[in-house]
Amino acid sequence: MRFTAAQIAMMIDATVEGDASASVDSFGKIEEAKDGQLAFLANPKYEEFLYTTDASIIIVNDSLELKGAIKTTLLRVPDAYSAFATLLKKYEEIASLQLVGIQEPSYIAKTAKLGANVFVAAFAYLSENVSIGNNVKIYSGVVVGNNVTIGDNTILHPGVKIYHDCIIGKNVTIHAGTIVGSDGFGFAPLTDGTYKKIPQIGNVIIEDDVEIGANNTIDRATMGSTIIRKGAKLDNLIQIAHNVEVGEHTVIAAQVGVSGSSKIGSNVMIGGQAGITGHISIADGTKINGKSGVSKSIKTPNTAISGTPAESFMSMKRIEAIYRNLPELEKRVRELEKRLGEK
């Protein structure tokens, strides 16, 4: 697909500076882009490439002041990074519109209901009483269990598994290998040292505009629902246990584990490899540093925490400063002990 600078400007509400008829058919990084490609400049450290790049069109900030001659067409916007992300999203949507229809071999139960412009790839499996919205894309190896509902414009990438009774909202993207609705880790210890499985009869609800990375596991609730709220973004390799709630527009980086029945607020940011114990609450706006171990509720909104066990971020910085000085402190203590011993 080829677009002119004028057409792209309409998509991202940009001002054209240069040849409005210049056209592109692909994307490239500003330092590597070729003729016929579009790039963007948001980070000032890459500005030098603006004057040497072969890109045909570049998205830049309105505030950029040119320091030399350029040979490319500029699209000026308030925020180049955000505009580029918007453009990529539109490009993806246009490309996905070409994917419509049912490929064979695939299995779709007679009781399944499919909306308009749905794509089902070969080797997908849609079970009884499934309800699929409009413009949904289901790729190879996806399994959708009984009574699952999937909202409009949702994309299930290869190998996604949605267990029975789960509800997926609109505009949701779930990447390859993720499992939604597997059993929560519920076992009752018995007097003879064995464990009895507790049936997990709840479900998972994923609200609108959520994106979930590859190889996540989101367990179904013991009773009720495990919930991923509207606009949340989950990276790859995350474990969400039974009855957890992840708040609206919360962002979770890779390799995080959240134990059962914990409630994470809205607009929370959780760094990679953090662990959150069960049955606690995390207040709205909390920032949790990577590798932190959170063992108690965070009740004050917009708190930054770090460490294991997690404490105030500023407290942890002071503690780390003391750690770095321990060798020198030990040396001074030994010198003092030696002097005292000589008296």
Residues labelled catalytic: 242
CA–CA separation, 203 vs 116, rounded Å?
Answer: 26
CA–CA separation, 151 vs 128, rounded Å?
Answer: 17
Residue 94 tokens, joined: 């246009």
| Cis, peptide link before residue 309, omega less than 30° from 0 | yes
CA–CA separation, 148 vs 137, rounded Å?
Answer: 15
Buried b / exposed e across 269-301, counting CB within 10 Å, b at 16+? ebbbbbbbbeebebbbbbbbbebbebeeebeee
CA–CA separation, 61 vs 71, rounded Å?
Answer: 17
Residue 154 tokens, joined: 């949702």
| Whether the Cβ atoms of residue 155 and residue 171 lie closer than 8 Å to each other | no
CA atoms within a 13 Å half-sphere pointing along the CA-CB vector of 306: 11
| Whether the Cβ atoms of residue 309 and residue 295 lie closer than 8 Å to each other | yes
CA–CA separation, 38 vs 1, rounded Å?
Answer: 13
Q: Which residues pair with 101 in a beta bridge?
A: 119
Among residues 111, 127, 136, which one has the least CA distance to residue 162?
A: 127
Running DSSP on this structure, what letter comes out for residue 324?
A: H
| Whether the Cβ atoms of residue 289 and residue 313 lie closer than 8 Å to each other | yes
Cα 42 from chain centre: 21
Q: Where are the beta strands (DSSP E) in 78-190?
A: 101-102, 107-108, 113-114, 119-120, 125-126, 131-132, 137-138, 143-144, 149-150, 155-156, 161-162, 167-168, 173-174, 179-182, 187-189
